[in-house]
Amino acid sequence: MTTFLSTILLPVLVAAVALVLLFGLINMMRGGSPNRSQTLMRWRVLLQFAAVVVTMLAVWAMGR
C-alpha cells in the first residue's frame, strides 16, 4: 500500500495540481472568464488537500 501511495498516487496528484495551476494561469493571462478562474482555483485547492492527505498517509504507513 505504501508503494502505491508514494510511487503512483502521489505523483498523479502532484501532476494534477500542476496542470490545474497551469490552466488557471493561462486563463488569467488571456483575460478569460473570472468564473472559470474561481472554478480552477477551487479544484487546485481540493487537489492540494488530497495530495497532502496522501502524503501524510504514505509517511504514516512507512513508519508502521
Say what the pLDDT of residue 10 is.
93
Which DSSP string corresponds to the chain? -HHIIIIIIHHHHHHHHHHHHHHHHHHHHTT--HHHHHHHHHHHHHHHHHHHHHHHHHHHHHH-
Q: Per-residue pLDDT for 2 more than 80?
A: no
Is pLDDT at 5 greater than 90 in this prediction? no
Q: For 38-57, what is each residue's pLDDT tens digit?
A: 999 999 999 999 999 999 99
Is the pLDDT assigned to residue 61 strictly greater than 80? Answer: yes
Mean pLDDT of 9-34: 96
8-state DSSP, 10: H
